[in-house]
Amino acid sequence: MVDTIENQSPHQVVIVGGGFGGLYAAQALGKAPVQVTLIDKRNFHLFQPLLYQVATGTLSPADISSPLRAVVSENKNTTVIMGDVRDIKPEEKKLIMASGEVTYDTLIVATGVSHSYFGNDQWETVAPGLKTIEDALKMRQRIFMAFEAAEKETDAEKRRAWLTFVIVGGGPTGVELAGAIAELAFSTLKRDFRNIDTSEAKVLLLEGMDRVLPPYTPDLSAKAEESLNRLGVTVQTKTMVTNITDNVVTTKQGDKVEQIPARTILWAAGVKASPMGKAIAQSTGAELDRVGRVIVESDLTVPGYPDIFVVGDLASFSHQNGKPLPGVAPVAMQEGQYVANLIEQRLAGYTMPAFSYVDRGSMAVIGRNAAVVDLGFVKFSGLLAWLIWVFIHIYFLIEFDNKLIVMLQWGWNYWTRKRGARLITGDESMGLIGVDSNGEYYSPKNTKSPVEV
């Protein structure tokens, strides 16, 4: 099942997904004696940890994306295919794409996760999540449109609903979104409107557990909540969301049920595995965990299939301390690199120990000057944490041109508190660019036709 380097035709490694897991595997195999095929639906790698900055008007999509072909163009052994993998036939070592097929000797699946509404998929249209560029632009449109709608609204109660921003989920994404929206309302946009005072906006962060950033230590969670409060965010913990419509969020805190009128509701609460998880389970008999991730062996292979690896958010790896590794970029990067090394070692006739994640710490940014960092041996918050966060994020942005531009954009935003990328763009399908006299969104192309949001 495993080729060796002496074989005639080079060993074919196929990687599905150009996120952190897939791309780091591809880069680590760039000089290896194998043929690499990198398949992604999109033509770019997306630096997902900064997606919330696109959603809140600081960065442009291109600032946090690198064309996949450009990233690997120096790797002579690597071919990039823009394609949509739909299924896998492990016995034939074949992938079925929307157009055509690809065969592999070794397969690395790194297709990640999308957001989950815990069985309430109808919430998706009213409470967008944040996984793709399109998601971020949709959020950006909603957020800035809400201020425009409030400016026009004469009814005080309706205006309050337009100025209420509810973020569901107090993990890193939710915390970062809430902080950025608070900065927008209470600082950036303050002098831009005439009928509303944007500082009357309410930014509400809802979390089901007893504290924000539940995976972090309690003292960092407390520090984060403090910083959020200082920015003007209202944090509400131990709160479950029981219903969402386009203008009301229903919450339950203990026995207390509350109806919160709000026109901008953002989802940062849960994830579910991409469809490749199910495809792998059905074709190999592999088990999936609660959110559909593939439960992998200690070397990241699918049980019984040493030629199929799963890395990144799609992998459920519990061999280290009994609970699955978190779905964050550093885990995906290390897994991708591990699998690349393992493939090279195997081809050379060697074996490798089980994968082991080296946790170099975790962090979340809350706003200008405010972040929390946990490096394991030391934890801190505030300006220093913010600087570390900035440094690490710039360091890992894959291409240098992006780094330079992003750094300057951040520097500029930091000093001026401006946000240049607050455009409301898109068309009907994306979520509409107008508000009619009833306060309904409408698309300017469809004369006066309010559409569902």
Q: Which one among 258, 387, 427, 451 touches a second copy, defined by CB under 8 A?
A: 427
31 interacts with a second copy by CB under 8 A: no
452 interacts with a second copy by CB under 8 A: no
**Min separation Cβ 102 and a second copy, Å:** 11
What is the distance between the alpha carbons of residues 358 and 334, in angstroms, rounded to a whole number? 8
Which tokens go with 235?
Answer: 């944090």
437 interacts with a second copy by CB under 8 A: yes
287 interacts with a second copy by CB under 8 A: no
133 interacts with a second copy by CB under 8 A: yes
409 interacts with a second copy by CB under 8 A: yes
Marked catalytic residue, from 6, 148, 157, 176:
176
Q: Is 91 marked active-site?
A: no
**Min separation Cβ 29 and a second copy, Å:** 16
Which tokens go with 89?
Answer: 């036939």
Q: Which one among 44, 117, 267, 386 touches a second copy, defined by CB under 8 A?
A: 44
CA 95 to chain centre: 26
Q: Which one among 1, 9, 98, 452 touches a second copy, defined by CB under 8 A?
A: 98
453 interacts with a second copy by CB under 8 A: no
**Min separation Cβ 67 and a second copy, Å:** 5
Applying CB under 8 A, which part among 123-131, 310-318, 357-365, 419-427 lies near a second copy?
419-427
Nearer to a second copy, 326 or 450 (CB): 450
What is the distance between the alpha carbons of residues 321 and 70, in angstroms, rounded to a whole number? 38
144 interacts with a second copy by CB under 8 A: yes
444 interacts with a second copy by CB under 8 A: yes
84 interacts with a second copy by CB under 8 A: yes
Q: Which one among 8, 100, 322, 353 touches a second copy, defined by CB under 8 A?
A: 100
Nearer to a second copy, 153 or 225 (CB): 153
430 interacts with a second copy by CB under 8 A: yes
Q: What letters, b where the CB count within 10 A reaches 16 and e where it falls short, cover 150-164?
A: bbebeeeebbbbbbb
Residues that bind a second copy (CB under 8 A): 41-44, 60-63, 65-67, 69-70, 73, 79-84, 86, 98-100, 133-134, 144, 148, 151-152, 189, 191-194, 399, 401-402, 404-405, 408-409, 412, 416, 418, 420-430, 433-437, 442, 444, 447-448
Q: Cite the active site residues.
A: 176
